[in-house]
């Protein structure tokens, strides 16, 4: 994805280096190489030169010396070569003036880019199963996908959030069997998801004793596929009450979708895919089933149709891919689906390539790790599940209890408790690199200190409190005359924001923004602890410091918004 209109200090440096080294490495690639040194005496930014060695036919230390000797760029006051690195020392006053002015004038649009030029990107996310509880297991796809969508929008794309509901399959035959045998309509109407889930779990418990239940479940699913009136009516009911329950959870998290087309939507669209594969002479028979062989890709065969004529996930996802391209003309189609489905998506893309589809490689699987309980995957079949709605409600209650203890006079405490409680759960997930597993721990999730959502939200509230006390009217100085070490760290963080958002989009990794806003909050809190902002300072210095505080509040709020969180002004 190309860069849009936002030009940062790192971009300027990368552009200058690109002209100097005349190598095959692009400006964007150089930007990703630039890093922050571990120690302040090593400069503000550093470029390792090892990547240039092969194309320039020079040792990294020679390349570093060559760059350092001829480098000039606005905002850089000193450049030095140390081994294979080039260290850059920035003119912090000029940068502060430019960055703070830019943030205050642009507000939440600071860091916006036009890279996407309005192009559509479909995002397959969340996708819970009908008639099953919305468990913690569905949290990751939901919040990672939503955060990526927010960041894409900031980078000029048009994200299309698709909730590909699990609303078809043999499990519905099992559920209909369970309801017909043991279900009570009144109980289901009173608490649909809990009751249906209990019936589903009970079915599997009984199926271990009575093997005929599995056959009965398959028969009811066949009735559903054939359009049997009773089976279809029950399925529609299960779907309707499930969506009502899911909407409560989505509303709590402030997440909405552009499409709820689930698996059932593609029932009448799969025949065309099978015909397409037949006409391309790609379908082969294997033990009665129809497959597409992918030996040349080093992959196992992709199963398209069972021996009984039933279609599978691959058939359905192929139909969905064609539908999404036809309806949205996507530039990229994202699938925010767990690590365990990696092979499935490799096969899907390989089949589309065999069909000669020009957009086959525009499908991107964004895998993530699991939320584990006691080191094991949660299972709805065995009833070992933690309900997301209950976790959110408990988190909100704990936040409310903390407010009543520390700030009982807070006038909008219920709203703040919701913002903090929900934010704690979302941030706990998003601060972790998506491919790592997360151990479910309510205690860790709901901590209100350390690298947590509430800590970042409290930092935003603190900045807002300072501005209220100062009765700040958003007038800021046109030039900056002095900045100390602690202010320097904050300014550098503020300047890095657009770059961090761009990196997060390039790598489909919201944790970069979460980690960034933790670092910004820590630097700001360190600054606040060591610097007087309102008392005993000259008016000119006070104006500078308040402008910095306001800029911090804007960037923290926007960082949280990208992660799908709110930023309370009081806590």
pLDDT band at 5 (very low <50, low <70, confident <90, very high): very low
Q: What is the pLDDT of residue 2?
A: 36
Span 163-218, pLDDT tens digits:
999 999 889 999 999 999 999 999 998 888 889 989 999 999 999 999 999 999 99
Count of beta carbons in the 10 Å neighbourhood of residue 177: 24
Q: Are 556 and 460 in contact (CB under 8 A)?
A: yes
Q: Where are the beta strands (DSSP E) in 132-287?
A: 158-162, 283-286
Radius of gyration of the chain (CA): 27
Distance separating alpha carbons of residues 390 and 225, to the nearest angstrom: 34
Q: Does residue 380 have a pLDDT over 60? A: no
Q: Does residue 535 have a pLDDT over 70? A: yes
Beta strands 45-48 and 85-90: pairing type?
antiparallel
H helix or E strand, kind and range, residue 224: helix 212-225
Mean pLDDT within 492-502? 92
Q: Measure Cα distances from 83 to 44, 53, 87, 146, 327 in Å.
A: 17, 13, 10, 43, 54
Kindly report the backbone phi and psi dihedral angles of residue 409, in degrees, each rounded to the nearest multiple of 5, phi listed first. -85, 0
Q: Are 68 and 89 in contact (CB under 8 A)?
A: no
Q: What is the pLDDT of residue 373?
A: 75
Residue 226, classed as helix, strand or coil, is coil
Name the percent of the chain lying above pLDDT 70: 96
Residue 179 tokens, joined: 């309801």
Beta strands 332-336 and 363-366: pairing type?
parallel
Distance separating alpha carbons of residues 387 and 196, to the nearest angstrom: 14
H helix or E strand, kind and range, residue 439: strand 438-439
Residue 79 pairs in a beta bridge with 88
Non-local (6+) Cβ contacts of 555 within 8 A are 103, 110, 494, 497, 517, 520
Q: Does residue 484 have a pLDDT over 80? A: no
Mean pLDDT within 44-63? 93
Q: What is the pLDDT of residue 382?
A: 55
Pick the residue with more confidence: 225 or 301?
301
Phi-psi region of 261 (alpha: psi -120 to 50; beta: other; left: phi over 0): beta
Distance separating alpha carbons of residues 397 and 403, to the nearest angstrom: 10
Q: Are 186 and 356 in contact (CB under 8 A)?
A: no
Minimum mean pLDDT range among 292-301, 329-338, 479-488: 479-488
Q: What is the pLDDT of residue 264?
A: 95
Residue 243 tokens, joined: 């969506």
For the chain, give the mean pLDDT. Answer: 91
Q: What is the pLDDT of residue 6?
A: 41
Distance separating alpha carbons of residues 342 and 516, to the nearest angstrom: 28
Q: Does residue 7 have a pLDDT over 80? A: no
Report the Cα–Cα distance between both ends of the chain, in Å, rounded: 39
Mean pLDDT within 313-338? 97
Q: Measure Cα distances from 353 to 175, 331, 358, 438 in Å.
A: 37, 16, 8, 34
Q: Is the dihedral of CA 36, 38, 42, 43 positive or negative?
A: positive
Span 205-256, pLDDT tens digits:
999 999 999 999 999 999 998 999 999 999 999 999 999 989 999 999 999 9
Q: Are 84 and 64 in contact (CB under 8 A)?
A: yes
Tokens 């005496």: give the residue.
41
pTM: 0.89
Q: What is the pLDDT of residue 296?
A: 94
Q: What is the pLDDT of residue 478?
A: 66
Residue 48, classed as helix, strand or coil, is strand
Q: What is the pLDDT of residue 306?
A: 84
Span 96-131, pLDDT tens digits:
888 999 999 999 999 999 999 999 999 999 999 998
Domains of the chain: 9-90 (3.30.1360.70), 169-242 (no CATH), 388-562 (1.10.730.10)
3-class secondary structure for 107-127? HHHCCCCCCCCCCEEEEECCC
Q: What is the pLDDT of residue 384?
A: 62
Q: Does residue 448 have a pLDDT over 80? A: no
| DSSP tag of 387 | B
Residue 266 tokens, joined: 């593609």
Q: Are 36 and 44 in contact (CB under 8 A)?
A: yes
Q: In 3D, which of 524, 526, 544 has the Cα closest to residue 534?
A: 544
Highest mean pLDDT among 125-134, 184-193, 452-461, 485-494: 452-461
Sheet holding 371-373, edge to edge: 376-377, 371-373, 438-439
Longest dimension (CA), the chain: 85
Mean pLDDT within 539-565? 95
Q: Measure Cα distances from 466 to 523, 535, 547, 566 in Å.
A: 16, 11, 11, 19
Highest mean pLDDT among 20-34, 85-99, 554-568: 554-568
């Amino acid at each position: 994805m190309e860069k849009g209109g936002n030009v940062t200090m790192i971009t300027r440096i990368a552009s200058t280096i690109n002209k100097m080294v005349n190598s095959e490495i692009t400006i964007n690639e150089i930007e990703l190489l630039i890093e922050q040194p571990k120690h302040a005496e090593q400069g503000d930014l550093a470029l390792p030169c090892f990547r240039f060695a092969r194309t320039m036919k020079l040792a990294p230390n020679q390349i570093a010396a060559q760059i350092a000797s001829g480098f000039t760029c606005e905002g850089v006051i000193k450049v030095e070569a140390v081994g294979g690195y080039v260290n850059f020392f920035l003119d912090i006053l000029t940068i502060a003036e430019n960055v703070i002015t830019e943030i205050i004038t642009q507000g939440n649009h600071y860091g916006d880019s036009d890279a996407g030029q309005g192009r559509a990107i479909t995002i397959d996310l969340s996708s819970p199963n009908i008639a099953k509880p919305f468990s913690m297991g569905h949290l990751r796809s939901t919040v990672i996908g939503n955060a990526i969508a927010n960041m894409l929008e900031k980078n000029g794309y048009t994200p299309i959030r698709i909730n590909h509901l699990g609303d078809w399959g043999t499990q519905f035959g099992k559920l209909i069997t369970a309801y017909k045998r043991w279900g009570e309509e009144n109980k289901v109407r009173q608490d649909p998801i809990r009751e249906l889930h209990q019936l589903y779990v009970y079915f599997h418990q009984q199926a271990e004793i009575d093997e005929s239940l599995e056959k009965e479940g398959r028969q009811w699913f066949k009735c559903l596929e054939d359009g049997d009136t009773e089976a279809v009516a029950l399925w529609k009911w299960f779907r309707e009450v499930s969506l009502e329950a899911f909407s409560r959870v989505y509303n709590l998290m402030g997440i909405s979708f552009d499409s709820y087309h689930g698996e059932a939507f593609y029932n009448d669209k799969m025949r065309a895919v099978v015909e397409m594969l037949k006409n391309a002479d790609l379908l082969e028979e294997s033990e009665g089933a129809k497959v597409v062989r992918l030996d040349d890709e080093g992959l196992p065969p992709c199963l398209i149709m069972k021996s009984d004529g039933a279609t599978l996930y691959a058939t359905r996802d192929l139909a969905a891919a064609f539908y999404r391209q036809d309806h949205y003309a996507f530039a990229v189609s994202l699938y925010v689906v767990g690590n365990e489905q990696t092979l499935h998506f490799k096969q899907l893309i390989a089949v589309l390539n065999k069909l000669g589809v020009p957009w086959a490689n525009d499908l991107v699987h964004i895998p993530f790790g699991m939320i584990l309980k006691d080191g094991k995957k949660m299972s709805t079949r065995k009833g070992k599940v933690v309900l997301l709605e209950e976790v959110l409600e408990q988190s909100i209650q704990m936040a409310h209890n903390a407010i009543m203890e520390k700030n009982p006079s807070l006038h909008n405490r219920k709203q703040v408790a919701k913002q903090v409680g929900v934010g704690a759960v979302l941030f706990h997930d998003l601060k972790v690199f998506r491919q790592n597993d997360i151990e479910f721990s309510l205690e860790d999730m709901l901590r209100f200190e350390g690298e947590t959502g509430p800590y970042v939200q409290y930092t935003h509230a603190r900045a807002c409190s300072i501005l209220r006390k100062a009765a700040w009217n958003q007038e800021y100085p046109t030039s900056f005359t002095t900045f100390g070490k602690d202010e320097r760290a904050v300014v550098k963080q503020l300047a890095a924001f657009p770059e961090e958002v761009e990196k997060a989009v390039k790598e489909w990794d919201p944790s970069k923004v979460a980690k960034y806003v933790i670092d910004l909050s820590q630097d700001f809190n360190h600054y606040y602890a060591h610097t007087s902002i309102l008392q005993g300072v000259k008016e000119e210095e006070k104006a500078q410091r308040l402008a910095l505080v306001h800029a911090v509040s804007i960037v923290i709020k926007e960082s949280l918004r990208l992660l799908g969180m709110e930023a309370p002004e009081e806590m």
